[in-house]
Amino acid sequence: MDSVEKNFERTLVTSALPYANGHIHLGHIAGAYLPADIYVRYLRLRGVKALYVGGSDEHGVPITLTALKEGVTPKEVIDRYHTANTAAFQRLGISYDIYGRTSWPLHVDTTQRFFKALDAGGYIHTEEMELWYSPQLERFLPDRYVKGTCPKCGYTDANGDECERCGAQYAAHELLSPRANIPGDASSPVLRKSRHWFLDLPKFEAPLKAWLDGHPEWRPNVKGIAYGWVNDLRSRCITRDTDWGVPIPVDDPDAENKRIYVWFDAPIGYVTNTRQWAQDKLRDANGWEIWWKDSGTRMIHFIGKDNVPFHAVIFPAMLMGQGDYILADNVVGNEYLNIFNRQTGKSEKGSKSRGNMISVRWAVDNLPVDAIRYYLCAIAPESKDSDFDWDEFMNRYNGELCDVVGNFVHRCLTMTVKNFAGRVPEAGELEAADKEMLDAIPRQMAAIAESLEGFKFRQAVERFIDLGRKANVYFDAAKPWVTRKTDMARTGATLYVCCQVVKALCFAMTPFMPGGAAALAATLNLALPNNGPDGGEDAWAAAVAPLPAGSALNAPQALFPKLDRERIAELAEAHRQGEAF
């Protein structure tokens, strides 16, 4: 909590912009979205000024190829997925302050400003390249859309510039028997010359190293990948032969049929969307600048590991080239969530061709949101890949969230409401065990906060469950159902203490399970704060203040209904049949 409050006045949180060429799935959520959302919800509870920015990434060649295949316009493709993904995030409770689009007109301006500043700084030059061109489609093809025979080992399914089998890398013209890797394109691609714009990454080597050296606290996987790049920087092509993207802001006929590379403009989308937010919400065209240019802003990127080079090397270099932008304080890169296949006993990478993806829209149609959030947080792939497994999903949700925490809350509130007329009892005389339990509350809350602030979400949710475990032990030892028969004052003391735990649990669960938290807050007649980017009261700190004796309680309901084994088996089977997308 120190680093959040001591050094920074506000926190800007971003989640990677999902590509608007498909539905988001649980793998995306576990890595880049749920941890970010939990973090932001925590900051808001603490009253920290926090802005959470996301949006759709809507440019690039793959979208145009999807449009081509379906016989629709690229605009129709991005509208479809932007709408679907916006709804999916909303239903899962991913609480963006703004979920924007790189197709917004404002984004052309932001992107071109970035490009021009880099150009003016001498960080951009042009080079002539030889690229694959499809005579049939009359367009250039990125390497991923060209296959052929490896010149080194003869593998017939080699990529355009690299062989998956023998690992060889080669120039485009060395590939044998090139063919387009696009359904419906039977032509043989040919090489054509094309002039492109390059970002001079080597010029940023020293500042990038200094910046990375200043952040030893980052996750090892992120630092490893970032240093790997920074120790061998090369210029990077930032334009493409396509008409779907931001026009290159140069006065040059060669730029006419080209656009800025989608990977250059995607992270700039964070800036655009902040600008749009300031315009819409603050009605202040300059209101975004404090979030990007003031040293009091702490910027945190949440991404999957595939995104590390862009967020820990390229985008920071682009920001450095602007002159007046801040850099990220942390890049929280996650590994991947795989799918565990019970039939084979093996972990599988999620892929469309395998049909083993679980889309968010399918998940929220069939499962409680809190259950999804709980499980995905509990297995977040923070240091290595993890597996989604149906049996584990049910066992952990039922056995931990429902049985340990949910049931504790329920047994405590039920007894209290029945025996004390729906009010928190008087504390009366507290014994050693009571005081110990009360003392454990702030201790455990601090431990959860420490985990969250260190981006250790699995640990945080585990510590949350631990508070429930401690409470059950206390409850069992105090035996209020026994003392009730002989000593109502003692029973009242026990339940008073338990009610304090329940209140803390309510606040502690808010970032992870906002649905359950809202239901519990209603039962306790507590108001959870609704802080926004302007910050507010530190409700997390207030969570450990006691719920006064006499406070009215409503009849409790099960916060987290248990999942039915047969229903889960049905869903697992549907998933196995490829119906979960």
Q: Binding to RNA (CB under 7 A): which residues in 145-174?
A: 159-162, 167, 169
Rounded Cα distance between 535 and 530, Å, is: 9
Q: What gap in Å lies between CA 173 and CA 4, rounded to an integer?
A: 53
Q: Phi, psi at residue 346, to the nearest 5°?
A: -120, 160
Q: Which of 263, 270, 288, 512 binds RNA (CB under 7 A)?
A: 263
Any residues with CB less than 8 A from the CB of 475 and at least 6 apart, and which? 408, 411, 412, 494, 498
Per-residue b or e along 142-163, where b marks 16 or more CB atoms closer than 10 Å to that residue's CB: beebbbbbbbeeebeebbbbeb
Residue selected from 9, 79, 109, 143 as contacting RNA according to rule CB under 7 A? 143
Residue nearer to RNA on the CB measure, 66 or 531: 66
Instruction: Select 285 or 558, whichever has its Cβ closest to RNA.
Output: 558
Stretch that binds RNA, among 1-9, 87-95, 538-546, 553-561 (CB under 7 A): 553-561
Q: What interhelical angle do 34-46 and 432-453 show, nearest 10?
A: 120
Q: Torsion angle of alpha carbons 389, 390, 391, 397, nearest 10°?
A: 100
φ/ψ (deg, to 5) at 353: -65, -35
Query: What character string, x for contact with RNA (CB under 7 A) and - otherwise, covers 45-74?
Result: ------------x-xxxx------------
Crossing angle (nearest 10°) for helices 432-453 and 488-509: 0
State which of residues 171, 285, 482, 489 lies at the interface with RNA (CB under 7 A): 482
Closer to RNA by Cβ: residue 162 or 538: 162
SS (H, E, C) 75-128: HHHHHHHHHHHHHHHHHHCCCCCEEEECCCHHHHHHHHHHHHHHHHCCCEEEEE
* Only segment of 270-278, 279-287, 473-481, 523-531 that touches RNA (CB under 7 A): 473-481
Cα separation, 358 vs 355, in Å, equals: 9
175 binds RNA per the rule CB under 7 A: no
Residue count, binding to RNA (CB under 7 A): 80
Q: Which of 6, 138, 183, 234 binds RNA (CB under 7 A)?
A: 234
Which residue is it, tokens 């989608």?
262
Residue closer to RNA (CB basis): 44 or 410: 410
Residues 487-508 as b/e (b if ≥16 CB within 10 A, e otherwise) read eeebbbbbbbbbbbbbbbbbbb
Is residue 483 a contact point for RNA (CB under 7 A)?
A: no
Minimal distance, residue 551 CB to RNA, in Å: 19
Candidate segments 81-89, 104-112, 466-474, 569-577, binder of RNA by CB under 7 A: 466-474
- Residue selected from 76, 280, 284, 306 as contacting RNA according to rule CB under 7 A: 306
Q: How far is the CB of 160 from RNA (least distance, A)?
A: 6
Name the segment binding RNA (CB under 7 A); options: 5-13, 46-54, 142-150, 285-293: 142-150
In angstroms, rounded to a whole number, what is the distance separating the alpha carbons of residues 523 and 546?
16
Q: Which of residues 426-455 bind RNA (CB under 7 A)?
A: none
Per the rule left: phi > 0, alpha: psi between -120 and 50, beta: everything else, 147 is beta
Q: Does 339 bind RNA (CB under 7 A)?
A: no
Q: Is 246 in the site for RNA (CB under 7 A)?
A: no
Per CB under 7 A, the list member of 93, 121, 142, 515 interacting with RNA is: 142
Residue 382 touches RNA, criterion: CB under 7 A:
yes
565 is an interface residue for RNA by CB under 7 A? no
Q: Indicate whether 501 belongs to the interface with RNA (CB under 7 A).
A: no
When binding is defined by CB under 7 A, the residue of 266, 271, 358, 467 that contacts RNA is 266
